[in-house]
Every structure is written in structure tokens, then in C-alpha cells.
Amino acid sequence: MHAMNFALIFIFSFFAYLLLFHAKELLNSQLGQATLTGVALFWLFRGVIQLPLFGYGQPRSLFFFGVFLIGAGLHAFPILVLF
């Protein structure tokens, strides 16, 4: 379990690096747009599975559900604006 957590920390840090320092390249290339779409879909999926896995009535679960949907929207927004 710890190995997976460390791997996820690395991949999320890498995505953050791409978004912060290579935003123009992400928006101006098909590979970058596909990456943004994939990350947005990841956070959308994570938000959708949050409630069934961790409880519909749990305040903490609802908070994380909102955070994940906001993350999906932030990643999807540049792609939606381009189209």
C-alpha cells in the first residue's frame, strides 16, 4: 500500500509540474490536450466513486467529493474553452 501511495505522490507531482511550468505546451499540442483531458477524467471518476466508497452522509466524504469535482473542472476548463 505504501508503494502505491509513493507512486501516486510522484505522478501527481509530475502532473502539477506540467500544469505549472508547461501550460502553453499542454494547450497547444494534441498530446497536452489529451493529458489534460485524462487528468480531468481521473478527478471526475475519483469524485464519482468517493460517495459510494466512503459514505453519502459523511461530511468529510461530501467535502472531498466537492474538492474532486472542482479539480476535474479546473483541469477540463482550458480544454472546454478551446472548443
pLDDT in tens, 10-31: 999 999 999 999 999 999 999 9
**Average pLDDT score over residue span 34-39:** 95
Q: What domain range includes position 37?
A: 2-82
pLDDT at 8: 92
When pLDDT is cut at 50, 70 and 90, the band that residue 6 belongs to is very high
Residue whose C-alpha is closest to residue 79's, from 13, 31, 18: 31
pLDDT at 83 over 80: no
Residue whose C-alpha is closest to residue 15's, from 35, 34, 1, 33: 35
pLDDT at 82 over 90: no
Number of structural domains found in the chain? 1
The burial of 13, by beta-carbon neighbours within 10 Å (0-12 exposed, 13-18 middle, 19 or more buried), is given as: exposed
